[in-house]
Chains A and B, each alone.
Chain A
């Protein structure tokens, strides 16, 4: 079943991801999404995508300024979608040589979350560590401790606040070294290290847009 997705697009923002989702391995985004190249969704990863039959698809149309979502399954709820910024991302749960399994209903409360398979060649897979360095900044949903070192279990040297966005400078294991994204001159420089995942869930919220 397909629906026109004008409402669907309004319902999704770039910050729709849920921290309750399984951590997964990173983010997948379509590489060649266009009016004549839909993104096919597969229910299983049998054989090669070229010989598999998709369950559904996501299509776009050419708008006056940018591509717009045309049709999509009603249950489709990606990690983030802002086609005016050429942005459509899914959380990657599993990988095969020719396939990538992604969460297709980000805000679903069911466990495990609903997933589908994509042709790996139709998307760009970015592991979390690289993704956190690529995007504009991260946020913490509530105050999170900042440490001087990721290996030294000393008391925190400070706390993040939900209002301040953080640039990621480097990523080591479960830790990210951060600086304030909107730092004043007096605040310039790294803050310290924050935990970005706990092995099961993402502890920070990617903030994709400026």
Chain B
């Protein structure tokens, strides 16, 4: 029998979230979580760029060179500690993130081979939330297995800043790229990899499936059926056409144009009943598409995309 050590990390096909070992995690806020170490912005090509915090502790941040994110050269800063370019970058970031996830120009889309996971963890950002701390794997070796936050290792965090009418991301890890980043509607959603009583492991970079742990009381955990009923979806109609019944041999009703957003009416097994309103003339008002591969095994994949817009 296994006797796991205190900070055992489960080996998996996913790259563990490993930010800079020199991350400048500030001492915690009372009754909340530690603040962030890195900053991100958006460059001219809308790729996320990374800018380190002012070196208050003479700390620099290591970039993950394998990521798709770019690191700009250091720039002079004003009295607030942020450079004009950084502020511009944050404005551009907010503009980019206001679009649905499927239309975030230049930002990497979800890894098509990413594991299905258990659903989505939703963070609502409408009320200027406290910093969202990202943790290393908490120790679940004790029964009962509630792990005090003080005993979990904080790796990094995301901070928020109130703006005019909406909250924006103030700082975030350099490779922060959740499944849904919709600041305009005040929500960030991560794909859930693992669920525990008080913790949830989420994908913090949808392009490379790296993960971190978040306190469960900071997020709304939604299973895939709930997600699919809440958000519009897109589908590759060549491999997953709209059918008249939830079987592979059912007649094809129609093919959907690329990025055509479908509204889910029902979720049953591996299939979605979706509305065909406006899709084509003289077809039934609804049809079926697959939302996941046939057997929901450990290797199952999500077959619909574009999740992010209601």
Contact = CB atoms under 8 A, between A and B. Distances in A.
A180 to B, nearest CB: 8
Interface stretch (A4-12, A32-40, A54-62, A195-203): A195-203
B298 to A, nearest CB: 5
18 contacts: A25-B225, A96-B265, A129-B118, A129-B195, A133-B195, A146-B2, A148-B2, A149-B11, A151-B10, A151-B12, A151-B13, A169-B196, A172-B10, A172-B118, A173-B116, A188-B142, A198-B295, A198-B297
Nearest to B221: A130
Given A174-B297, A183-B143, A198-B297, 17 more contacts: A95-B225, A96-B229, A127-B223, A127-B226, A130-B223, A146-B1, A148-B2, A151-B298, A169-B140, A169-B143, A171-B118, A173-B115, A173-B117, A177-B140, A189-B4, A189-B143, A199-B300
A96 to B, nearest CB: 5
Interface residues of B, number: 41
Nearest to A101: B268
A26 B296 CA distance: 14
A25 B123 CA distance: 23
Contacts of A149: 10-12
Residue among B229, B295, B298 with the highest chain A CB neighbour number at 10 A: B298
Interface in A190-208: 190-192, 197-200
B277 interface: no
Listed from nearest, the 6 A-B pairs whose CB atoms lie closest are A127-B223, A199-B295, A94-B268, A170-B196, A199-B296, A172-B194
B225 A23 contact: no
B267 interface: yes
A81 interface: no
Contacts of B194: 170-172
Residue among A96, A157, A183, A188 with the highest chain B CB neighbour number at 10 A: A96
Q: Describe B's contact surface by its main secondary structure.
A: loop
A200 B223 contact: no
A113 interface: no
Given A149-B10, A171-B195, A174-B298, A95 B267 contact: yes
Interface string A156-193: 01100000000101111111010100010000111110
B26 interface: no
Contacts of A198: 295, 297
B226 to A, nearest CB: 7
Contacts of B196: 133, 169-171
B223 A25 contact: yes
A173 B298 contact: yes
Interface residues of A, number: 44
Contacts of A169: 140, 143, 145, 196-197
Interface of B: 1-4, 10-13, 115-119, 140-143, 145, 193-197, 199, 201, 221, 223, 225-226, 229, 265-269, 294-298, 300
A129 B102 CA distance: 28
Residue among A174, A175, A183, A199 with the highest chain B CB neighbour number at 10 A: A199
Contact of A189 (B3, B117, B221, B294): B3
Nearest to A97: B229
B228 to A, nearest CB: 9
A133 B198 CA distance: 10
B143 A167 contact: yes
B221 A94 contact: no
Nearest to A147: B2
Contacts of A170: 140, 194-196, 199
B296 A197 contact: yes
A22 interface: yes
A23 B2 CA distance: 29
Contacts of B223: 25-26, 127, 129-130
Residue among A94, A133, A170 with the highest chain B CB neighbour number at 10 A: A170
B158 to A, nearest CB: 23
B229 A95 contact: yes
B195 to A, nearest CB: 5
Nearest to B4: A190
B119 A158 contact: no
Given A127-B223, A190-B140, A150 B295 contact: no
